[in-house]
């Protein structure tokens, strides 16, 4: 019975979270209860808790994690400074004469916002508020409009620079070193957040391309579902449109290139690039005459709240993983995965399925801090590439966040959608994009080079 206590601990945490208690407190509180109960029953060594302060010190001194508040600040600043609204208006003017032009505009702007903010919830809500009423007014299929917005909003999961990829890269780096030490390699190789950024770039762009191909196909086969904008709505043409494109599109692109280019070019670490992004977002807001003291106060407050939430979850997850390992949970999971038929392929399939299902009840941050440290060292010890594994996890959870009935992106859009758009229409609209996501997962599984080639070129992995 005692050997199954780690799984009982994990199940208890899931139940407490479903009951609606705060994530960080649920992780830490449940783990502490199990630790104290186990110590009283003499099945848990309470002295293991003495390692907790060292873990907290490790979090506090981790320079990579400084990038989190900086990228959060960058994303919130761009969200508040009407960058998304201006981009959407400009892209709609560019693609509007085409059937499906508004849909393509949503995908392109979603990609740019993903690369600028990396905050999934904010992107879905922003796109829902700005583009959904316009698409419905112009005769777009309600389900198609909802699906395009949800799918484009979740691109922040996979397209760098993403907060999620930063957290996942830091966790995978520790897991990769642990896996090598367990294998008797005492001068372990490391991976960086930059490796994961480079690995996610091509799959993210391929995913955008697949989205666009699907929308073009629908526009050709079902033109009534995606009409072109009427001539009277095409206010910008010719030189005026070119000037608007230059003014609105160029600054965000330069900011993205400055952040990503400095990382991939080896000029700056992700933390240093995040600082560049934060300063660039301030300059961009100032250039569009949106920067004012009240807005800056609001941005700082939002940044502090989001950052505090992330790090409090990190602290709770650290205590949870300590107790989980104290009960022998890592050995239990390793034994269960090793005994599965199919070897590493069977283990990978089971882990992906479990993470997909957990994505219905847990946020990416919780899965990254709780589940990935448990399963990643085992999978990496089986010979999987850490960058490929990280990109697979990111796309898998991105798919989970789109999948009815519990996908987080669906809840975000439902919260801002007009009453005439039914929940069933939202569910129906995301199904083709879920199929595209699964296709992308299959491509990546069949052709891992999609994720490993660019890091090899840039960093010589």
User: What backbone phi and psi angles, to 5 degrees, belong to 325?
Assistant: -70, -35
Span 88-111, mean pLDDT? 79
More confident position, 1 or 157 = 157
Token couple for 458: 């840039």
Q: Which long-range contacts (CB under 8 A, 24 or more apart) does 64-67 make?
A: 64/166, 64/169, 64/170, 64/192, 64/193, 64/269, 64/270, 64/271, 65/166, 65/170, 65/311, 65/314, 66/271, 66/274, 67/166, 67/193, 67/270, 67/271, 67/273, 67/274
pLDDT digit string (tens) for 220-234? 888 888 887 666 555
CA dihedral 183, 189, 193, 197 (to 10 degrees): -100
CA 414, 419, 421, 427 torsion: positive or negative? positive
Tell whether the model's pLDDT for residue 83 goes beyond 90. no
Q: Which residues contact 262 (CB under 8 A, 6 or more apart)?
A: 268, 272, 273, 276
Cα–Cα distance, 151 to 162 (Å, whole number): 16
For a pLDDT cut of 70, what percent of the chain falls above it? 93
Token couple for 438: 């699964």
Collapsed DSSP state (helix, strand, coil) of residue 391: helix
Q: Which long-range contacts (CB under 8 A, 24 or more apart) does 177-185 make?
A: 178/377, 179/376, 179/377, 179/378, 179/380, 179/381, 180/380, 182/377, 182/381, 183/381
Cα–Cα distance, 178 to 77 (Å, whole number): 37
CA dihedral 275, 277, 282, 288 (to 10 degrees): 170
Task: Provide the pLDDT for residue 254.
Answer: 84
Task: Provide the pLDDT for residue 392.
Answer: 93
Token couple for 242: 């070119």
Residue labelled with tokens 């890091």: 455
Span 238-267, mean pLDDT? 79
User: What backbone phi and psi angles, to 5 degrees, belong to 312?
Assistant: -65, -40
Span 29-49, mean pLDDT? 87
Is residue 66 very low, low, confident or very high in pLDDT (cuts 50, 70, 90)? confident
- Pick the closest to residue 409 from 440, 387, 430, 438 (CA basis): 430
Of these ranges, 240-249, 296-305, 366-375, 415-424, the one predicted with the greatest mean pLDDT is 296-305
pLDDT digit string (tens) for 415-433? 778 888 888 888 899 999 9
pLDDT digit string (tens) for 179-219? 888 777 767 778 888 889 889 999 999 999 999 999 999 98
Token couple for 449: 């080079």
Is residue 236 very low, low, confident or very high in pLDDT (cuts 50, 70, 90)? low
Is residue 235 very low, low, confident or very high in pLDDT (cuts 50, 70, 90)? low
CA angle in degrees (0–180, nearest 5) for 398-403-405: 140
Task: Provide the pLDDT for residue 47.
Answer: 85
Token couple for 208: 């955008």
Classify residue 291 as left (phi > 0), alpha (psi -120 to 50) or beta: beta
Task: Provide the pLDDT for residue 119.
Answer: 63
Cα–Cα distance, 108 to 235 (Å, whole number): 20
Span 99-110, mean pLDDT? 83
pLDDT digit string (tens) for 324-368? 888 888 788 878 887 778 788 888 998 898 888 887 777 777 788
Is residue 116 very low, low, confident or very high in pLDDT (cuts 50, 70, 90)? low
Token couple for 275: 């600082």
CB 245 within 8 A of CB 94: yes
Token couple for 252: 């965000």
CB 223 within 8 A of CB 99: yes
Task: Provide the pLDDT for residue 207.
Answer: 94
**Helices 67-80 and 101-116, axial angle in degrees (round to 10):** 140
Cα–Cα distance, 78 to 84 (Å, whole number): 8
Of these ranges, 79-93, 201-215, 238-252, the one predicted with the greatest mean pLDDT is 201-215
Task: Provide the pLDDT for residue 139.
Answer: 82
Q: Considering only 79-93, 306-320, 372-386, 389-403, which range has the smallest mean pLDDT? A: 79-93
Residues found in the chain: 461
Task: Provide the pLDDT for residue 121.
Answer: 67
Cα–Cα distance, 381 to 176 (Å, whole number): 8
Please give the DSSP secondary-structure letter assigned to residue 363. -
265, exposed or middle or buried, with CB in 10 Å at 0-12, 13-18, 19+?
exposed
pLDDT averaged over the chain? Answer: 83
Q: Which long-range contacts (CB under 8 A, 24 or more apart) does 216-224 make?
A: 216/100, 216/104, 218/100, 218/103, 218/144, 219/98, 219/99, 219/100, 219/103, 220/99, 222/141, 223/99, 224/139
Tell whether the model's pLDDT for residue 1 goes beyond 60. no
Task: Provide the pLDDT for residue 333.
Answer: 80
CA angle in degrees (0–180, nearest 5) for 124-128-131: 125
Span 308-322, mean pLDDT? 85
């Amino acid at each position: 019975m005692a050997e199954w206590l780690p799984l009982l601990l994990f199940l208890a945490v899931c139940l407490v979270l479903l009951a609606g208690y705060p994530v960080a407190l649920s992780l830490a509180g449940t783990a502490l209860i199990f630790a104290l109960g186990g110590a009283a029953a003499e099945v848990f060594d309470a002295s293991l808790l003495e390692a907790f302060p060292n873990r907290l010190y490790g979090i506090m001194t981790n320079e990579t994690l400084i990038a989190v508040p900086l990228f959060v600040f960058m994303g919130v600043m761009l969200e508040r400074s009407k960058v998304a609204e201006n981009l959407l208006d400009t892209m709609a003017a560019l693609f509007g004469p085409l059937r499906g032009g508004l849909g393509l505009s949503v995908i392109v702007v979603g990609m740019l916002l993903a690369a600028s903010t990396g905050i999934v919830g904010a992107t879905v809500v922003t796109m829902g508020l700005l583009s959904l009423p316009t698409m419905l007014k112009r005769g777009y299929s309600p389900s198609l409009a909802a699906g395009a917005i949800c799918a484009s909003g979740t691109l922040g999961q996979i397209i760098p620079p993403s907060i999620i990829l930063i957290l996942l890269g830091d966790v995978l780096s520790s897991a990769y070193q642990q896996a090598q030490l367990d294998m008797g390699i005492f001068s372990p190789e490391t991976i960086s957040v930059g490796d994961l950024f480079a690995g996610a770039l091509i799959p993210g762009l391929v995913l955008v391309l697949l989205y666009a191909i699907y929308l073009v196909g629908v526009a050709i086969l079902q033109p009534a579902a995606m009409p072109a904008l009427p001539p009277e709505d095409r206010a910008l043409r010719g030189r005026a449109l070119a000037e608007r494109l230059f003014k609105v599109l160029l600054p965000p692109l330069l900011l993205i290139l400055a952040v990503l280019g400095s990382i991939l070019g080896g000029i700056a670490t992700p933390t240093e690039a995040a600082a560049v992004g934060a300063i660039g977002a301030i300059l961009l807001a100032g250039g569009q005459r949106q920067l004012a003291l009240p807005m800056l106060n609001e941005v700082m407050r939002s940044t502090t709240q989001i950052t505090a939430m992330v790090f409090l979850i990190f602290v709770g997850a650290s205590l949870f993983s300590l107790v989980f390992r104290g009960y022998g949970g890592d050995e239990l999971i390793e034994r269960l995965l090793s005994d599965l038929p199919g070897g590493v392929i069977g283990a990978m399939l089971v882990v992906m399925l479990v993470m997909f299902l957990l994505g219905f009840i847990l946020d990416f941050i919780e899965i990254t801090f709780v589940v990935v440290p448990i399963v990643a060292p085992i999978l990496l010890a089986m010979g999987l590439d850490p960058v490929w594994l990280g990109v697979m996890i990111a796309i898998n959870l991105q798919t989970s966040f789109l999948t009815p009935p519990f996908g987080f992106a669906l809840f975000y859009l439902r919260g801002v959608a007009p009453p005439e758009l039914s929940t069933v229409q939202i569910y129906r609209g995301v199904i083709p994009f879920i199929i595209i996501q699964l296709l992308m997962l299959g491509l990546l599984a069949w052709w891992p080079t999609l994720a490993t080639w660019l890091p090899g070129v840039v960093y010589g992995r």
